[in-house]
Structure 1
Amino acid sequence: HRWLAGVLGASYALCGWSVLEATYNTMWLDGLVAFPLLCLVGEWARTRRHPVLAPLVVALAWTANFYTAYMATIGAALVLVVRLLLEEPEVRERVGGLLRAARSVAIGIALAAPLLFTVYLGTKNAFPGRTTEFRPAGLPDFLARLLPATYSFGTPALFLGSGALLLACTLPFHRPAPARERWAWPALALLVALSLQWKPTHLMWHAFVTPNGSPYRETFVLGGVLVIAAWSCLSYGLPGRRALLGGCGVLVLAGAGAAFSEGLVSHWTYPVFVAGLVASAAGLLIGRHRGFGRIAALLLVAALVGQAAVTVAYGDRARVQRLDDYPVWGDDHTARAAAVSGADGWPGYRTDPGRTQLTGNDPLLIGGQGAAYYSSLTPDVLTRTMESLGGGWTSRGRNLQSLDNPVTDALFDIGARAHWVKGGETTVSRETVPPLVTVRPPGSRPRFDGSPFRNQEALLGSRVYTQVGHGTKCPAGTEVFFWAPDYFGEASLGANPVLGKNAAQMRGGRPARRAALQPLGTAPGGVAVHGGPRDGLTGCLDTARLTAAVERLRTTGATSVQITDTSIRAELPSGSQGTAVFAMPAIEGWSCRAGNGPARPATAYLGLVSVPLDGSTTSVGCTFRPPGLTAGLWAGALGLSGLLATGLLPVALARRRALTKSSSG
C-alpha cells in the first residue's frame, strides 16, 4: 500500500494552511516545504548520514523564509526527540543524535547569516505597526477549523483530509503498533496543539512577538505531525474495524464539539466532513482485501480532493468579504504599465504609477518609482516621514499609499504621475520638478509639527499654501487639499456635487488605516469642503508660489546625478553652502561624503538623507550597505569553514588512521 504514502503527502500539501492561507500569500508555502525537509535532516542526524548535505538543506530553508523555517526547525526538533526516544535505547545515542542535529542546524543558519542578519536588523528598523495581544481561539472554534469549509483569519487553519485525520486518530487503537509508538505520536500532536493555545509557547513559536496578522502561523507543523502519526499507523498495516471505529469515534467527538462554534461552521462543513469520513473509512476497510486496492485508492483520493476543493472554494469566497481583493492581470494593468513605461525618465525624475492602486505593490507590478509598497520591513523613518507630509497607509502602517500632491511630487522628484479611473483610460500628467539632490540654505533645521501642509513647506523651504485651517474657504484659483487621517467617507468642494461621483474617497480609521491627504480640485472661491469631519484641515495651494519654489531648488540643486544599484553621486554648483538633501528616506545603512572627504553615516533632514556643505565642495555621494551584511558575511564564512571541516575532517582522520596502520604493519 505504498500509494497511501502519496495520499498522505497530498493531504499535507492540501492542508488548511496551504489552501486557505498560502494561496494568497505564497511565502507561507516555504514553511510547509521546510518542515519535512528539516525532519529529514533530523533523521540523517539520528542515523549518522549526510553530514554535509544536512547543513545545506537547513541553509536553503532558512534562506527561503527564516520566519517559517524557525517554526519548522522547532517542529522538526520535537519530531527528532520522539524518534530518538522510540528508536534509540541508549542515552549516549540519543544525546549524540541531538548534538549532530544541532551541528547541522548551527552550520546551516550560519551559512544563511548574510541574509538573516540583514533581515533581522531590517525588522528592528521597521515601522512597528500595532502591538497585538494574543487571544487563543475557543475550543469549539479550534475543533471547527479541523473540518472542511470553515474560514477565519484569527483561528488556526487546521483542516486536514479525513483520511489522514482518521488514521492519526486510529493510531492509539491500532494494536499491531508498539504501545510506545501508539501513544508517542498522538501525545506529540496534542502537545503541539496545546502549544498553539498557550501564550508563552505561542510567543516561542513566533520568535517571541505576536504577529500583526494571523496569530497561528505555526499551524502547518501540527498538520505535519498528524500526517506523521497517520503514516506511523499505516506502517504496521491497515487498521481493522475496531481500530477504525475508535478513530471515527474521536473524529465524531471533535465534530460534535465544533458544533458549538459561533459562525465558523458553514452549511457545507458537516455534509462534506461526513461524506469524506465515510469514504475514507470504507477505503481503508476495503483496502485490507486483495483485489480492491484501486477502489480503496479511488475512495481515499476522492475524499481528499473533494474536501480540499470545497474548502478552497469556500475560503476564497469568505476571504473576499474580509480581506483586500485585487483583480487579476487584465487590460487595465496592461494600459497602466504601458503608460508608466512610456513616461519613465529615471534617474532624471521619478514616475509614480498613480494614487488609484491596483495592488499594494503597484511600482513592482506596474513599474515606476513610487512609494506605494507593502512590506513587513517598511522602514519606520519612511512611514513617519510620509505621515508627516500627509501620506496614507493600510496594514497598520506597512502598506504606504501614493500621495497625489504637487508639493510632495516636487520634494521626491516625481516628474510624471499616472491617473486612472475605473473603466476609463490611463493618463499621465507631467510637471517640472527639482533634481534628486537639492540644497537648503544655511541655518537652523526646521521641525515637523501637526499640520501636513506646514510640514511640506518646511521640507520644501518655501511657503506655498495661502491658507490652512478648519472649514477654510480657499481663494479662487488655488488648489484645494483636504486632510482628515481618521475619516472614512467622502469629501468634496461644496454640497452640489453628488457624493460618490465627484467626491474624493477617504479610507481612514487607525490603527488599521490612515487616509491620505486628498486633492479636491481648483477652488471656485468662497466654497468650503463638504462631507468631511469638522476637525479636518483644508489647505489652499498657490501653484505660482510652488512653481517659484521649484525653480529655486532647480537653480541651486544638483547639475548632474549618477546612480548605481548601491550608490548615488551628485555634482553641485560651485560654492554650495548649507545642506544637500537627497530625495530618499534616511534609513540605516546610508554612508555619505562631501567631495573627497571621509564617508560618514548619513544625517537626516526631516526624514531624508542629507550631507552638510561648507561651500568648498562641488560633489556629494552616498553608498548603501544593508545593516548586518558585514557581520552576516563573517558568520557565513564561519559557517562555510564549519561545513568544510565537517566534510574534510573525517576524510583526513581516516587517511591518518590508514597511514598509521600501514606504517605499523
Structure 2
Amino acid sequence: MSTPHRSPRRPGLLGSALAALVTVVAVCAGDAVARVFPYGPRHRSINDLGNQFVPFHAHLWDLLHGRAGGGLLLNWQSGYGTSFLPDFGTYLASPFAVLVGLFPRQDIDLAVYVVTVLKTAAAAAAMAWLLRTQRRGPAWAAGLLGASYALCGWSVIEASYNPMWLDGLIAFPLLCLTGEWALRARRPVAAVVVVALCWTANFYTAYMATLGAVLVLLVRLLLIRSGTARSLRALARAALTTVLGVALSMPVLLPLFLSSKQAYPGWFKPFVPVATEDLLARLLPATYSFSSPALFIGTGALLLAAALPFHRTVAGRERLLWTGLVLLVLLSFQWMPTHLAWHLFATPNGSPYRQTFVLAGIVVMAAWAGLTSAGPPRPWALAGGAAVLAAVLLAASGSGLATPWGLALFGGGLAPAGAGRWALRHPRLVQPAVAGVGLVGGAPAAAATAPGQR
C-alpha cells in the first residue's frame, strides 16, 4: 500500500549501471544510424550549438589550459571584451563541462558530444537510483525505466543540442532524492550540497526541476500519511535544504541574475497553447515540432503509467495521486499562468515547453508505482492501459506532426510491452531479460534511431 517511512535498504548500483549502459548504447546507436557526428558526415554543431555552446566550451578549454585572454570575470576573446561570469554560470558551470579540458582543442566538438552523452547517462542513473529509493523493485526494471526517462523525446530532440539543459534532466531525480531524505530526516548536509550543485550547474532548468520535486514530495507525503506534524517537519527540512543549497550557489547565480535583468526584455514571443491532437502526437516517437512538448518516453513506460488507474490491487489513493499528478502537470503546460510559473514568469523566445523533462520523470515514477506497489498489473489492467494508448494513437493520427515511423513504433510497441508485463507475472517461464525487452517494447533505443527523432 503506502511506502514505509524508512527506507529498508540502500538501492544498490546495479539498476543505475544498467540505466547508464542502455542510455549510452541507445544514444550512440541512434547517432550512428542517423550518420551524425562523430559517426558520419551530418554535423551537430549548427544554430545555437555551433554558434554559442561549442565556442563557450572552447573558451573554457583555453581557461583550463591558461591560454585565454582574461579570466572568469572578463573574456577578451569576444569582440572588444565582454563579461564572462554570467556566461559561465549559464552555460559552463556544470561539473561535466570541465571534461572538455581532457580533449585536444581541435576536438572540442567531440568533447561536447561526449559530455552530452555522459550527462544523459547520468540522468538515467540518477532516476534509477531514485526509483529504488522510493520503493523496492527489480534493479533491471528500474534501470530500464531510468533509461526511458533519460531518452525521452525532450532529451533526444531538444536538450541534446542544448547541453546545459541536460543538467536539469539530472537535477530532477536528484532533487526528488533530497525530498526522500527530508522525509526520512537523513543526509541533511549531502542534500544541501546536491541542491547547490544542481542550481549551480544550470539554474534555469534546476528551477523547473525544483518545482517538479516539490510536487513529487507532496504526493509522497500524502501517500505515507505520517501525520500532520511529521509532514510539516519534512516540508520544513526540504525547504531549509533548498534555501541553503541555493544560497551556496549564489556566487555564480547573483551575477547571472543581475545580467539577465539588464538584458531583459528581449524579443518577445506570446505563448499559444498547442492543439490537443498535436499535444497527443508528441507522445509518439519520430515526431518534431519546435513549439510543442516532446513527451515520448517509450511505449513500455507509457503503458505502465496508463495501466495504473486500472490496476485495482494498487491502493486507490496511490492510483489517484500519481495519475492526478501526471494530468495536472500536463494541463499546466497549456495554461498561461502556469506556463509562466514554469518559466520564471517570462515566456522564452524559443521552445515554450522547456519543462517537459519534469513530466517525463513523473510519468516514469507513476509507471514504477504501478509496477512495484502491488505487483505487476494484471491483464485486464494492461488492457485498460492499452485502450488509453490506442485512443491517444487514434487522436494523434489526425495531427500533421504524426509520422508513419512514429505511428508504427508506438502501435507496434504495445504488443511487446504487454508481453513484458505478462513475463513479469511468470518469472519461472520467462527470464527477466526477456521481460525487459517487453518493458522497453518500442522503447527508447528503437525510438532514438527513428527518422525524425534526430
Matched residues in 2 for 1:139 and 1:307: separation?
26
- 1:299 equivalenced with 2:438 (yes/no): yes
* Bigger proportion of residues as helix: 2
Letter in 2 for 1:61: C
- 1:284 equivalenced with 2:284 (yes/no): no
Matched residues in 1 for 2:149 and 2:183: separation?
24
CA contact (8 A) 1:148 1:307 kept: no
CA contact (8 A) 2:382 2:418 kept: yes
Match of 2:322 among 146, 166, 185: 185
Where does residue 242 of structure 1 map in the other structure? 380
Where does residue 154 of structure 1 map in the other structure? 291
The within-5 A match list for 1:86-105 is: 86-105=223-242
Shift of 1:2: 3.0
Letter in 1 for 2:378: G
Shift of 1:307: 3.6
Matched residues in 2 for 1:193 and 1:305: separation?
21
**What are structure 2's unaligned runs of at least 5 residues?**
1-137
The within-5 A match list for 1:23-422 is: 23-126=160-263, 128-235=265-372, 236-261=374-399, 263-289=400-426, 290-293=428-431, 294-301=433-440, 303-311=442-450, 313-316=451-454
Task: State the percentage of identical aligned residues.
Answer: 55
Shift of 1:306: 4.5
Shift of 1:308: 2.3
Which whole-Å deviations, capped at 9, do the CAs of 1:404-458 have from their partners, x for residues lacking one?
Answer: xxxxxxxxxxxxxxxxxxxxxxxxxxxxxxxxxxxxxxxxxxxxxxxxxxxxxxx
Change (3 A) 1:302 1:182: closer
Give the structure-2-normalised TM-score. Answer: 0.67
Which whole-Å deviations, capped at 9, do the CAs of 1:60-92 have from their partners, x for residues lacking one?
Answer: 000000000000000000000010011033111
Letter in 2 for 1:280: A
SS at match of 2:403: coil
- When the two chains are superposed, the root-mean-square deviation of aligned CA atoms in Å is 1.3
Where does residue 454 of structure 1 map in the other structure? none
Q: Which has the higher contact order (CA 8 A, sep 6+)?
A: 2
Change (3 A) 1:100 1:127: closer
Letter in 1 for 2:228: V
Which whole-Å deviations, capped at 9, do the CAs of 1:116-166 have from their partners, x for residues lacking one?
Answer: 111011111226431111001011010000111110000001111001100
Where does residue 14 of structure 1 map in the other structure? 151
Matched residues in 2 for 1:304 and 1:258: separation?
18
CA contact (8 A) 2:397 2:407 kept: no
Which whole-Å deviations, capped at 9, do the CAs of 1:469-501 have from their partners, x for residues lacking one?
Answer: xxxxxxxxxxxxxxxxxxxxxxxxxxxxxxxxx
Letter in 2 for 1:287: L
Letter in 1 for 2:387: G
Letter in 2 for 1:209: A
Matched residues in 1 for 2:153 and 2:401: separation?
14
Matched residues in 2 for 1:134 and 1:305: separation?
30
Which whole-Å deviations, capped at 9, do the CAs of 1:318-371 have from their partners, x for residues lacking one?
Answer: xxxxxxxxxxxxxxxxxxxxxxxxxxxxxxxxxxxxxxxxxxxxxxxxxxxxxx
Matched residues in 2 for 1:296 and 1:303: separation?
13
SS at match of 2:156: helix
The within-5 A match list for 1:525-540 is: none
Matched residues in 2 for 1:223 and 1:302: separation?
17
Shift of 1:260: 2.4
Matched residues in 1 for 2:326 and 2:393: separation?
18
Which whole-Å deviations, capped at 9, do the CAs of 1:621-660 have from their partners, x for residues lacking one?
Answer: xxxxxxxxxxxxxxxxxxxxxxxxxxxxxxxxxxxxxxxx
Where does residue 494 of structure 1 map in the other structure? none
Which whole-Å deviations, capped at 9, do the CAs of 1:506-530 have from their partners, x for residues lacking one?
Answer: xxxxxxxxxxxxxxxxxxxxxxxxx
CA contact (8 A) 1:273 1:307 kept: no
**What are structure 1's unaligned runs of at least 5 residues?**
317-665
Which whole-Å deviations, capped at 9, do the CAs of 1:266-320 have from their partners, x for residues lacking one?
Answer: 1211111111111111111122112302322233345314442244x4132xxxx
**Structure showing greater Rg:** 1
Matched residues in 2 for 1:90 and 1:301: separation?
38
CA contact (8 A) 1:148 1:310 kept: no
CA contact (8 A) 2:371 2:377 kept: yes
Matched residues in 2 for 1:132 and 1:303: separation?
36
Which whole-Å deviations, capped at 9, do the CAs of 1:583-633 have from their partners, x for residues lacking one?
Answer: xxxxxxxxxxxxxxxxxxxxxxxxxxxxxxxxxxxxxxxxxxxxxxxxxxx
Matched residues in 2 for 1:246 and 1:93: separation?
37
* Bigger proportion of residues as strand: 1
Which whole-Å deviations, capped at 9, do the CAs of 1:516-551 have from their partners, x for residues lacking one?
Answer: xxxxxxxxxxxxxxxxxxxxxxxxxxxxxxxxxxxx
Change (3 A) 1:276 1:52: same
